[in-house]
């Protein structure tokens, strides 16, 4: 209980005037002192419901809204935050003298970071910021998105073709040569392979598939997901997907580092050839590029021809699948398939919230729709307000025309 | 061609009872079909139940206290299983390295990551290093290579893509779940198969600084909105990705629209030609 128990004898004793032979109590004078004492005492304070409500009021909304959780620091409305934003936005974080390095080896197919790579860099940022370190990215092809992802230093790994053994040997040389406290890799197909090669080369323990990471502790599942292992972050770590947030702050400088890499003999792999997935046979959840038809598409022969010409996987909205114009397996959205595609091309789809949930993880969205105010137009990176029925034949013409023009010379 | 397959003490995904790991059963099928090809037998069915004079032998290896449910692997087309008897907490690496080093195998197949121990998938790599073999991960199809002593394999990549590799043997290869399904179980084949028990190399693991507790599923990260934001804003954060300043064209001619779309698709690297 927060309310204090009263002790009347003690209260009376507090009123007693000292230095008199007979006990005398000055209740009038002491009452002011006791009232001051009670108001300052840690007993129950009087609530001010109106004041609390005023604090919880969210400013800047047309309807009166209260945020009783108070988890967001309430920013004073006005021009002050805008000025602060303008001041902070272009600033670059510079770590001139890092205490140590946290190495990251992103997959970065074609020099572009994947979302998983960004999460790994975010985790490395966390480990580096805990002790004044810097994040070093070891990439085959340095791209321009590394600075925004939160990388301080970049080192290129010259590996010709697919040769994970050589890449692991180069990484081993870098880990030996530089002051690297942690090395983080994504637990993806290539990253997982590379991390295990590196662990076998160095003989160090690998903390594989970490599911949560802080500067003090890191966890992973073991024994068929029945046991959780937990320890302080070791040197070699691979991070599972969606385990850490990507770096959301100001960009870092991403300056190149000079390091003398050793030259290596060729390995046992004699040749490697990339075979792209057949988009017609690959499942919608695995597809890389999805072209989807909605209620604005009537000519499904042209739609299928367009999908084939674009070398994409066909998808559809719920309306089209309900009408039986496309198979149910092609439905995109909350009750269909949640896509993991790189690009989503929506033809004649307005974008119901349930449909947009299915597209949430797509990196690029292109939309063609007649309604300027459709949610899909707002979501798209390239939005075209036009009739999808008319755009489809033009696209097929442009694609086949481009193909014919390429074939002629 | 002599092929070895590594087996781990797996658990059934749903019931949690001891069971063989499906990927390792898929490896049996890959090995049998490879031997069948080498023998000029397209079906590859007759190649498994054979004795010494046949073109190939498949041997399974398991290091652990008990073969237990791994006898099922014999029913899925394995002809011989060798159990290297070690303690439950021992490191299987020295036992396996000694057993595989004693016989010369052309090809060693393993699952993508074993089960029952750390589940880190590190053992095939450490074993390849101990045996001095090259290692390739995530194979989903095997075939004889163009030259003798080489192997052509397909590596499964995310999103249904494949990588075709030609590799010099001997090698250690881990198998991906995208490989063809295991051969159906046959009780008589299980009875016929040989199970051999040998003494392994006892190798107690050093106690690490790892603390173990019961597993607790953690929530995956979702798109975050400001805490305490309204329901509409949270839905928006869940449905909208970070938009990179979208471009809007209102009522262009269909040809202009097509040109813009194709240029955009080429720029983001989705359209190759």
- R_g over Cα of chain B: 25
Tell me what pLDDT residue A158 has.
84
A311 contact B CB<8A: yes
Across the interface, which of B134, B212, B247 has its CB nearest the CB of A229? B212
Contact assessment for residue B21 and residue B8, using Cβ atoms and an 8 Å cutoff: yes
In this complex, do B164 and A390 lie within 8 Å of one another by their Cβ atoms? no
pLDDT for the residue numbered A83:
46
pLDDT level of residue B234 (50, 70, 90 thresholds): low
Pairing of strands B150-156, B162-168: antiparallel
Contact B257 A274 (CB under 8 A): no
Every domain of chain B and the residues it spans = 2-199
> What is the reported pLDDT for A114?
86
Structure-block tokens of residue B228: 């305490």
Which pLDDT belongs to residue A82?
Answer: 47
Residues of A in contact with B270 (CB under 8 A): 288-289, 342-343, 364
SS3 B121: coil
Token output for A257: 């580092």
- Per residue in B157-203, pLDDT (tens digit) is 888 888 999 999 899 999 999 899 999 999 999 999 999 999 989 88
Are the CB atoms for A362 and A342 separated by under 8 Å?
Answer: yes
CATH of A289-407, one of 3.40.50.620, 3.40.50.1220, 3.40.1030.10, 3.30.590.10: 3.40.50.1220
- Under 8 Å between Cβ of A55 and A76: no
Under 8 Å between Cβ of B154 and A153: no
How close is the nearest chain A Cα to the Cα of B51, in Å? 31
Q: Mutate one of A202, A275, A286 to test the B interface: name it (highest B CB count within 10 A).
A: A275
CB-CB neighbours of A62 under 10 Å: 5
User: How wide is the angle at C-alpha A230 spanned by C-alphas A227 and A235, nearest 5°?
Assistant: 130
Cβ of B240 within 8 Å of Cβ of A282? The answer is: no
The pLDDT, as a whole number, for residue A348 is 94
Could you write out the DSSP letters of every residue in A258-273?
Answer: ---PPP----SEEEEE
CA-nearest residue of chain B to A193?
A: B137
Q: How far apart are CA B270 and CA A279, in angstroms?
A: 12
* Nearest-CA distance B79 → chain A (Å): 27
pLDDT of residue A70: 65
Q: How far is CA B216 from CA A226, B191, B220, B224, in A?
A: 8, 40, 12, 22
* Cβ neighbours of A265 in B, within 8 Å: none
Q: Which residue from A minimizes the CA distance to B271? A: A310
**In CATH, what number does A101-256 get?**
3.40.50.620
Domain boundaries, chain A: 101-256, 289-407
Give residues with Cβ within 8 angstroms of A296, minimum separation 6: A347, A348, A349, A368, A369, A370, A387, A388, A389
Residue B130 has a pLDDT of 94
State whether the Cα torsion B174-B179-B181-B186 is positive or negative: negative
Taking CA–CA distances from A395, the nearest residue in chain B reads B258
ipTM over 0.90: no
pLDDT tens for each residue of A303-362:
999 999 999 999 999 999 999 999 999 999 989 999 988 899 999 999 898 999 899 888
- Contact check, Cβ <8 Å, A273/B159: no
Q: Is any Cβ of chain B less than 8 angstroms from the Cβ of A231?
A: yes
Q: Do A69 and B259 touch (CB under 8 A)?
A: no
Query: pLDDT by residue (tens digit) across B25-52?
Result: 999 999 999 998 877 644 444 444 444 4
The CATH number of the structural domain formed by B2-199 is 3.40.50.620
Q: Are A254 and A152 in contact (CB under 8 A)?
A: yes
β-strand partners of B204: B90
Locate the chain A residue with the closest alpha carbon to B21. Answer: A224
Q: Which of A56, A108, A271 to mutate to test the interface with B (most CBs of B within 10 A)?
A: A271
Counting as low any pLDDT under 50, the low residues of chain A are 1, 32-34, 36-37, 39-40, 72, 74-86, 88, 407-409
pLDDT in tens, B71-91: 999 999 999 999 999 998 888
Contact A197 B135 (CB under 8 A): yes
């Amino acid at each position: 209980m927060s309310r204090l128990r009263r002790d009347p004898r003690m209260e009376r004793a507090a009123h007693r005037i000292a230095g008199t032979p007979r006990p005398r109590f000055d209740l009038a004078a002491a009452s002011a002192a006791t009232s001051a004492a009670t108001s300052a005492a840690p007993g129950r304070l009087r609530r001010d419901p109106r004041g609390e409500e005023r604090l919880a009021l969210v400013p800047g909304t047309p309807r009166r809204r209260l945020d009783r959780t108070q988890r967001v620091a309430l920013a004073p409305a006005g021009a002050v935050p805008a000025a602060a934003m303008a001041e902070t936005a272009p600033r670059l974080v510079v770590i001139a003298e890092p205490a140590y390095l946290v190495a990251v080896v992103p997959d970065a197919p074609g020099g572009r970071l994947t979302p998983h790579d960004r999460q790994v860099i975010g985790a490395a940022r966390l480990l580096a910021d805990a002790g004044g370190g810097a994040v070093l990215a070891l990439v085959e092809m340095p791209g321009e998105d590394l600075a925004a992802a939160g990388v301080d230093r970049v080192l290129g790994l010259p590996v010709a073709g697919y040769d994970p053994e050589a890449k692991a040997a180069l990484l081993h040389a870098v880990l030996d040569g530089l002051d690297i406290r942690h090395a983080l890799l994504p637990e993806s197909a290539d990253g997982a392979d590379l991390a295990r090669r590196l662990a076998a080369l160095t003989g160090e323990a690998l903390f594989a598939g970490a599911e949560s990471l802080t500067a003090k502790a890191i966890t992973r599942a073991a024994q068929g997901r029945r046991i959780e292992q937990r320890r302080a972050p070791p040197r070699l770590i691979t991070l599972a997907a969606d385990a850490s947030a990507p770096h959301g702050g100001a960009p870092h400088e991403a300056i190149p580092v000079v390091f003398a890499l050793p030259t290596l003999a060729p390995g046992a792999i004699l040749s490697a050839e990339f075979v792209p997935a057949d988009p017609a046979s690959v499942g919608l959840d695995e597809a890389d590029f999805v072209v989807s038809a909605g209620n604005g598409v009537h000519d499904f022969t042209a739609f299928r021809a367009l999908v084939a010409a674009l070398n994409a996987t066909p998808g559809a909205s719920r309306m089209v699948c309900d009408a039986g114009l496309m198979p149910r397996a092609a439905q995109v959205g909350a009750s269909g398939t949640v896509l993991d595609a790189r690009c989503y091309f929506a033809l004649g789809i307005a974008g119901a919230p349930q449909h947009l949930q299915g597209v949430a993880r797509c990196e690029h969205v292109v939309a063609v729709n007649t309604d300027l105010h459709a949610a899909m137009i707002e979501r798209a990176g390239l939005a075209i307000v036009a009739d999808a029925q008319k755009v489809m034949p033009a696209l097929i013409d442009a694609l086949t025309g481009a193909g014919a023009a390429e074939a002629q010379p | 061609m002599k092929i070895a397959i590594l087996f781990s003490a797996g658990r059934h995904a749903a019931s949690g009872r001891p069971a063989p790991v499906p990927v390792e059963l898929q490896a049996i099928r890959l090995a049998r079909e490879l031997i069948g090809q080498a023998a000029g037998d397209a079906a590859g069915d007759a190649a498994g139940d054979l004795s010494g004079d046949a073109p190939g032998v498949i041997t399974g290896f398991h290091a652990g206290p008990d073969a237990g449910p791994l006898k099922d692997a014999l029913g899925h087309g394995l002809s011989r299983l060798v159990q290297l008897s070690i303690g439950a907490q021992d490191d299987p690496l020295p036992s396996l390295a000694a057993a595989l080093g004693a016989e010369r195998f052309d090809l060693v197949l393993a699952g993508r990551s074993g089960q029952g121990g750390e589940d880190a998938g590190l053992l095939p790599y450490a074993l390849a290093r101990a045996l001095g073999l090259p290692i390739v991960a995530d194979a989903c199809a095997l075939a004889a290579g163009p030259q003798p002593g080489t192997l052509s394999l397909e590596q499964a990549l995310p999103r249904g893509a494949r990588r075709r590799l030609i590799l010099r043997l001997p090698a250690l290869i881990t198998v991906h779940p995208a490989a063809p399904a295991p051969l159906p179980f046959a009780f008589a084949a299980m009875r016929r198969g040989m199970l051999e028990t040998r003494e392994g190399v006892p190798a107690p693991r050093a106690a690490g600084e790892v603390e173990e507790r019961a597993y607790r599923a953690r929530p995956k990260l979702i798109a975050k909105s400001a805490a305490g934001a309204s329901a509409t804003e949270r839905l928006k954060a869940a449905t909208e990705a970070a938009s990179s300043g979208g471009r809007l064209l209102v009522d262009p001619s269909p040809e202009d629209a097509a040109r813009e779309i194709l240029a955009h698709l080429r720029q983001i690297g989705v359209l190759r030609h």
